[in-house]
Structure 1
Amino acid sequence: MVAARLYPAEVLGLNAVMISTMITLANLAQLNLGNFLNRTLAGTGRRAGRIIWISYLVATGSGAIFAGLFIFASRWVSPELTKELSSFWMAVGFTLCTVVWTIFNLQDSVLSGLRQSVWVPVENGFFSAAKILLLAAFIGTQWAQLGPFLAWILPTLLLIPLVNLLIAARFVPDMANSVATQQLRVREIAGMMSWDYLATIAMMVGLGMAPILVLQLAGPIAAAGYAIAWAITYSIYLVSRSFGISMMAEAAADPGLRKPLAARSITIVAGLLLVSASAIAVLAPYVLLVFGESYTGDNVALLRLLVLSAIPWGVTTIYIALARSAGKTGRIAIVQISTVSVFFAAAKLLVPFYGVIGIGFAWLASHLSVFIAICAAESLINPRGVREVLLLSASSAGRLLEALRRRELGPVVPLHHVEAKATAKVLKQEPASLTARRLVTFDNDCQTLMVAGADGVSSTFLKRATTERGRVALDRHVAVVGSLRDDLKGRPELRLLPEILSDVDGEGDRFILQRSMPGTNGRSFYKDCLDKHALMSKSCAAMAAIHASNARDVFVTTEWLQVWIDEPLAKIAALERTRSAARKADRAIERIRELQYRYWSGRNVALGWHHGDFSLGNLFYTGGPERGAAASVAGIIDWDGAASDGPPCLDAWHLALTAESERRGTELGHATAELLWGQGPAFAFRPDQDASSTNEPALVMATLAWLRHLHSNLSKSERYRQNPIWRMANVDWVLGGFKRNGI
């Protein structure tokens, strides 16, 4: 915007083409090292520094070679640029600028590969601010004709040494202390680099030749209009590119999470692009008017076409990142060569009739057609994989929306008169001084509040029933905690239980006050914990001790099987389905029933306390999360789903499944299916691989934990039954596995 206001359209158009050409040459000169560093640097350990400096050296040499070749060939490629680069010093300057931009661009990939992507927007923000200041500084000087180009390159001369000083002094030593997990084999690297680099060349040629094509066909004024429209659009393109780079770096650190990471990226990118592209398309005339009236006219339609093309390209970019992280670089080459081929064919056909608008049509046609081709090809080659990614994306969208509504400390809510009076008595505060906040902003049949006194120190949990079902749940919670405290009297596990300070059951009010638990909630603690296996093992040992407090060997009866197996299966069978889907579900349900009955019938089992929702959200820890072995379980809350006749180790399996779904960002049903049939990444913790484990088979226990989880949710709230995405991800995906794989 600043450049458009400060410089004539002819000057801006020519400088924009020079900048675009320099960027294209710099991208080609990287020899695909950027993608290589993104994908491999995180696992190279102490070799990271050497790899980075060798990459910089190679990129410097290739940048000079590519710039020199272009200057030699410019008389045939772009006569307009030949005039600008005809002098010796201009040619040398352009070559040096290309080398500098090559390193500047490559260092972003270094930061991402070192898992320090947070510094990239900081660096780019400084670059943008400095560029704007320099645009104004060159006005009225002898360098005004090259002002936009110089403003683009000069900030990098400061940023390159600063960023690389940070890389050398801090990030590389940190990486050197980590264990090397990436094996760099020459044949694999050559294969990845060759195909991937071919794809990069194709895309860079398309991006670089487009403004040159406009310059040649329509002149520098039209090139200035295209440069403005493309600059606005490219900022949207960078959204998907940034997510793709981050996804590759995360997948390199944990390859098993490729699909969940891709699904989450698709969800966020698609949402952001739909909103931003639609907004810009609607406001295009006003957006361009900011740059000056001379940039409206045909450029309005051009901008709309370009921003709409960003939507299919955004999803394609995530597909490319997924293929790159899996080493399938041949697919990347096919996608990008096809995109550029369709673009040039469409541009050749449309530009003579529509002028600069034809370039917009060409980009939209190329991105949309390639996106449709990818969807069609993947649906034919790997239909189940496509369904899985779509389901993961849909459930990821649901989890994201719920996360926006669910906050650790929600809005302030008023207390009822009876609640305020009871809480004030417990905290020894005045009722008017109390502040109540919802711990979560999305509840089932009970609301959980954190009530604090005026001193900021005194606090308690208040749990109020909002429905009749909530009243029943609170009654059960109070009864279970009372029974548990009796069974654990004199045992160290007693400290883990909630302490109910007040229990009020009036005509209009049903609530309890519970002492605040010490420590940190399990969700945030687990996220920062380095030794997740040790943390999970301690948690399971604590629950196993509670189970043992009332455990007794019992002969499994038909009544027990009906409660623990038949009732959950009946709830699953009652979910709405088409007639065909119902028949398939019934067959899978019968297989699950056979599996559970075959194992449990006629056995003597030590039945004891079972939590019912033993998950990270209901656990509290003390100690440092950086070492799970040093942490301690401080508390276990929400016992309303507990039972006194649960089998051993069932809570451990429930914790393993919920923690893994939390780690991956997927639904519990998806994690269950991958555990049962070994189709996904290794679990961070499995009870059957823990030293304190009992001998129950994983297939039986994981399936039973899944069953009890579904039964609890379907009994707790109607929203689960009414949510088709939740049903598909948590119910149908597992049932489909039993149908395909049997037992």
Structure 2
Amino acid sequence: MSDRTVLQRLLQDLRNPLFRNGYALMANTAITATLGMGYWLLATQFYTPEEFGRGQALITAMRLFASLTALGFVGALARYIPISGRSTSGVILRGYGMAAATGGAAAVGFLMTLPVWGDIYAVLGTPAMSLFFLGSVLVWSVFTLQDVALTGLRKATWVPVNNLVFGLVKMALLAVLASRLPSGGIFVSWMIPTAIALVPVNFLIFGIQVPRHIRATAETAQPPRLREMGRFLAGDFPGTLSMLAIVYLVPVLVAARVGEATFGRFSMAHTLGCMIELLAMNMAVSLTVEGSFDRSMLAANARRALKRALTIIIPIIGVALLAAPLILTVFGSEFAVEGTTLLRLMALAVLPRVLIEIYLSSLRALGQARKLALVQIGLAVLVLASMLALFPFVDVNAVGYGLLFSEILVALLIFRGLRKILKYGDTGQSSVTQRSPEAA
């Protein structure tokens, strides 16, 4: 394929909101991954291996509690913001409030039971660090959802801009605090820029983009009733909570079982593997948004989203499999020795995850919350059970083996349903009748 043909196809994609949002979120993942590697590389230079592992553990725990409800609202906001009209601000603010309240309550419970979670979290035992951790959970709850709000408003192009600035400021602050705060500097440098970023981004959301969205959708908006959103969340939230266990609870469980330095090396490979997985999830979130706007195009958009996601992700998986030792050696030889197998296993697991995420996002667009929850809960149970069963035999690599086995199995189980969506969408009609000239 010629360079001109590739450019023409890219320009055509960018005129489609599905792919404009999807590419913006993928660009955000690439920016986050690049700056994240730079951040953690600096951390290995400025901090001891033990402090590096402790910083990773604190950030992981904070994100776990902040995401308890925040991630539960990802699907709901992507589903309902596009059709909320004059209720858009209220929908977003309710998401912010419930996420912060639930995350804060969970964080308080965690702080009251610190001895149960291992020595790695003992640094949170002082009143000052406890309050800072609690505040961090509240801040990250909102930070998580503001990107989803922009995506639901079809303005995901602002997401990579926000995270680019956030990443650069975070790296600069890490270097400044290295000599002034050798213990806790990693966690503090992560959270201060996060709190600052809330102000301009939410001004952009509520002051500019929401009014524009209301004007643009005034004639077609169908604001959801609280009861309708409640039914959706009742089905979607348990499943999303299960997916949260895979992303954030697994590292917390590992941290409780290994030393600080070992956890730091595990966490670096795990973080890189999760970043590859995010590429699949980001295109899928955009599919939920566009499916909510126009269900008749769901089959065509799902096919195109799957094709584009595989086109981008397969080469990245190949690079990860071949270059995993070289990538991890950047952080130190110990990282490569202990993390190569884990990173390769997690990269392979992303391939079936693409199919799963396209299927899940299609179910969200269709409002099929019960089936959505069943798939997500089943996947989480498989991952956690297989990881815990394998941990005594293969140590931290149990996370990789558990993910790969579980996601292949679930992909096989949902494949028939995915084929039906790719062919018919939700109308039961032939895909030929749904296909637009642009999607052909």
Residue in 1 aligned with 2:396?
A: 356
Letter in 2 for 1:139: A
Query: Cα offset for 1:106?
Result: 0.8
Does residue 33 (structure 1) correspond to residue 79 (structure 2)? The answer is: no
Amino acid at match of 2:354: G
Query: Could you tell me which amino acid in structure 2 is paired with residue 53 of structure 1?
Result: L
1:114 aligns with 2:115: no
Partner residue in 1 for 2:347 = 307
Q: 2:437 aligns with which of 641, 662, 665?
A: 662
Distance, in Å, in 1 between the alignment partners of 2:152 and 2:420 is 31
If asked which structure has higher relative contact order (CA below 8 Å, sep 6+), I would say: 2
Give the match's secondary structure for 2:275: helix
**TM superposition shift of 1:184:** 1.2
Rounded Cα–Cα distance in structure 2 between residues aligned with 1:8 and 1:165? 39
The structure-2 alpha-carbon separation of the partners of 1:119 and 1:102, relative to structure 1 and needing over 3 Å to count, comes to same
Structure-2 separation of matches of 1:388 and 1:34 = 25
Unaligned residue ranges in structure 2 (runs of 5+): 1-40, 426-430
Q: Which residue of 2 aligns with 1:418?
A: none
2:196 matches 1:144: no
- Residues 382-461 of structure 1: pairs in structure 2 closer than 5 A: 385=421
1:239 to partner: Cα distance: 1.0
Equivalenced residue count is 393
Residue 202 (structure 2) pairs with residue 184 (structure 1): no
**Larger helix percent:** 2
What residue in structure 2 maps to residue 539 of structure 1?
Answer: none
1:177-203: CA deviation from partner (whole Å, max 9, x where unpaired): 131522413332222101211011112
The question of whether the paired residues in 1 share the 8 Å contact of 2:72 and 2:237 is answered with: yes
Match of 1:168 among 193, 206, 217: 206
Task: Work out which of the residue numbers 162, 171, 185 in structure 2 matches 1:123.
Answer: 162
| CA displacement 1:235-290 (0-9 Å, x = unmatched) | 21121121112111111211211111111111111222211011111001111111
Q: How much does 1:174 deviate?
A: 0.7
Does the alignment pair 1:63 with 2:103? yes
Q: How many angstroms apart in 2 are the aligned matches of 1:214 and 1:103?
A: 27
- What is the distance in 2 between the residues matched to 1:241 and 1:146? 31
CA root-mean-square deviation:
2.2
Structure 1, unmatched stretches of 5+, are: 390-394, 396-656, 667-743
Amino acid at match of 1:184: P
Amino acid at match of 1:661: S
In 2, the alpha carbon distance for the partners of 1:62 and 1:354 equals 35
2:302 matched to 1:262? yes
| Counterpart-to-counterpart distance in 1, 2:355 and 2:300 | 15
Q: Given residue 139 of structure 2, which amino acid in structure 1 is its aligned partner?
A: V
Distance 1:293 1:114, change over 3 A: same
Matched position secondary structure for 1:117: coil
Matched, 1:228 2:268: yes
* Alignment CA distance shift 1:42-1:387 (3 Å): closer
Q: What does residue 49 of structure 1 align with?
A: 89
Q: Which has the higher strand share?
A: 1
The one of 245, 250, 272 equivalent to 1:205 is 245
SS at match of 1:85: helix
1:105 matched to 2:144: yes
Equivalent residue letter for 2:168: A
Distance 1:384 1:115, change over 3 A: closer
CA distance in 2, matches of 1:32, 1:264: 26
Q: In the alignment, residue 45 of structure 1 is paired with which amino acid?
A: G
User: After superposition, where does 1:250-649 map in structure 2 within 5 Å?
Assistant: 250-375=290-415, 378=417, 385=421
Indicate conservation of the 8 Å contact 1:40/1:182, yes or no.
no
Q: CA deviation at 1:79?
A: 2.1
Q: Report the CA distance shift for 1:10/1:262 in structure 2 as closer, same or farther (over 3 A).
A: same
Contact 1:214 1:222 (8 Å CA) reproduced: no
**Separation in structure 1 between the aligned mates of residue 56 and residue 101 of structure 2, nearest angstrom:** 25
Contact kept in structure 2, 1:139 and 1:147, CA below 8 Å: yes
- Report the Cα offset of residue 373 of structure 1: 1.5
1:240 aligns with 2:280: yes
Equivalent position amino acid for 2:161 in 1: V
Per the alignment, in what secondary structure is the counterpart of residue 138 of structure 1? helix
Cα gap change, 1:175 to 1:297, in 2 (>3 Å):
same
Task: Describe the SS at the equivalent of 1:116.
Answer: coil
User: Which is further off, 255-264 or 25-34?
Assistant: 25-34
Q: Contact 2:78–2:285 (CA<8 Å) still a contact in 1?
A: yes
Change in Cα spacing, 1:359 to 1:94, as seen in structure 2 (3 Å) is: same
Measure, in 2, the Cα distance between the counterparts of 1:287 and 1:375: 33
Partner of 1:194: 234
Contact kept? 2:58, 2:121, Cα under 8 Å: no
Could you tell me how far 1:34 is from its partner in structure 2? Answer: 2.6
**Partner of residue 86, structure 1:** 125
Residues 49 and 260 in structure 2, CA contact (< 8 A), matched pair in contact too: yes
Shift of 1:388: 5.7
> Contact (CA 8 Å) 1:71, 1:82: kept in 2 or not?
no
Call closer, same or farther: CA 1:34–1:384 in 2, change over 3 Å: closer
1:672-692 per-position Cα deviation (integer Å, ceiling 9, x unaligned): xxxxxxxxxxxxxxxxxxxxx
The answer for the alignment partner of 1:133 in structure 2 is 172
CA contact 1:74–1:81 (8 Å) conserved in 2:
no
Instruction: Give, in angstroms, the shift of residue 660 of structure 1.
Output: 6.3
Confirm or deny: 8 A CA contact 1:214 1:223 kept in the other structure. Answer: yes
Q: 1:465-491: per-residue Cα shift (whole Å, max 9, x none)?
A: xxxxxxxxxxxxxxxxxxxxxxxxxxx
Output the CA distance in 2 between the equivalents of 1:88 and 1:114. Answer: 40
Distance 2:352 2:378 in 1: 14
Alignment deviations for residues 444-464 of structure 1 (CA, whole Å, 9 cap, x no partner): xxxxxxxxxxxxxxxxxxxxx
Larger Rg over CA atoms: 1
Inter-partner Cα distance in structure 2 for 1:184 and 1:356 = 44
8 Å CA contact 1:218–1:355 kept in 2: the answer is no
Amino acid of the structure 2 residue aligned with 1:174 = R
Alpha carbons 2:54, 2:121 under 8 Å: kept: no
1:298 is displaced (CA, Å) by 2.7
Deviation at 1:337, TM superposition (A): 1.3
Instruction: Give me the whole-angstrom Cα distance separating, in 2, the residues matched to 1:347 and 1:56.
Output: 32
Name the residue aligned to 2:24: none
Distance 2:377 2:355 in 1: 17
Q: Secondary structure of the equivalent of 2:179?
A: coil
Alignment of 1:714-729 (within 5 A): none
Instruction: Tell me which residue corresponds to 1:157.
Output: 195
Secondary structure at the residue paired with 2:331?
Answer: coil
1:157 is aligned with what amino acid? Answer: A
Task: Give the Cα separation in 1 of the matches to 2:112 and 2:120.
Answer: 11
Percentage of pairs with the same residue: 27
2:281 & 2:78 partners in 1: Cα distance?
A: 12
Kept after mapping to 2: 8 A contact 1:29/1:63: yes
SS where residue 368 of structure 1 aligns? Answer: helix
Q: Is the 8 A contact 1:236 1:307 kept in 2?
A: yes
Deviation at 1:81, TM superposition (A): 4.4
The 3 A distance-change label for structure 1 pair 187 and 31 is: farther
1:326 maps to a residue whose letter is L
